[in-house]
């Protein structure tokens, strides 16, 4: 079994995933727009360049997302965070700073009783992240 986070953005999915790809050292990015899909003609012209589906190879997993369909009200991302586990404290700091840039800090990055580094941010695109480096076992 495998779990894959799926995020929904209000029109900034491409920008967010291109940022994650660059700043987090992610791998392959696949993007399909509403205009690339069979429902292109039913999609308002101003929304055809928005993301119907994106998949980003990140670490050992995949992060997926889309922009909210144009006929639905976007209410933001709430109640869920993506956990990004780093191999070292230095890597955790790099990830944390990249995600915090232009966003808001919920918890500064620092040591906790369960991790050598842990912090929480909401990035500039509205996604909530928990960045951590676990204590050696």
For the chain, domains (ranges, CATH) are 6-67 (3.10.180.10), 82-134 (3.10.180.10)
Query: Stretch 121-126: mean pLDDT, rounded?
Result: 98
pTM of the model: 0.93
Q: What percent of the chain lies above the pLDDT cut of 70? A: 100
Alpha helices in the chain (DSSP H): 13-23, 89-100
Q: What is residue 3's predicted lDDT score, i.e. its pLDDT?
A: 85
Instruction: Please tell me the distance from the alpha carbon of residue 72 to that of residue 21, in angstroms, as a whole number.
Output: 27
pLDDT at 124 exceeding the cut of 90: yes
Q: Evaluate if residue 33 carries a pLDDT over 80.
A: yes
Cα dist from 6 to 23, 49, 65, 70, whole Å:
19, 19, 5, 18
Q: How confident is the model at residue 137 (pLDDT cuts 50, 70, 90)?
A: confident
Does position 112 have pLDDT exceeding 90, yes or no?
Answer: yes
pLDDT digits (tens, 9 = 90+) for 4-26: 999 999 999 999 999 999 999 99
Average pLDDT over residues 29-56: 95
Mean pLDDT, to the nearest integer, of 95-115? 97
Q: What percent of the chain has pLDDT over 90?
A: 87
The residue among 70, 76, 15, 21 whose CA lies nearest residue 46 is 70
Q: What is the mean pLDDT of the chain?
A: 95
């Amino acid at each position: 079994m495998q779990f894959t986070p799926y995020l929904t953005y209000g029109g900034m999915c491409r920008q967010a995933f291109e940022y994650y790809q660059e700043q987090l050292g992610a791998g392959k990015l696949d993007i399909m727009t509403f205009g690339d899909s069979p429902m292109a003609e039913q999609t308002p012209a101003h929304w055809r360049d928005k993301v119907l589906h994106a998949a980003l190879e990140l670490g050992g997993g995949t992060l997926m997302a889309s922009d909210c369909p144009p006929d639905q009200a976007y209410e933001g991302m709430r109640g869920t965070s993506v956990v990004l586990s780093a191999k070292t404290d230095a890597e955790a700091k790099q990830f944390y700073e990249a995600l915090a840039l232009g966003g808001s800090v919920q918890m500064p990055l620092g040591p906790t009783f369960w991790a050598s580094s842990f912090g929480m941010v909401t990035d500039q695109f509205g996604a909530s992240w928990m960045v951590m480096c676990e204590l050696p076992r």
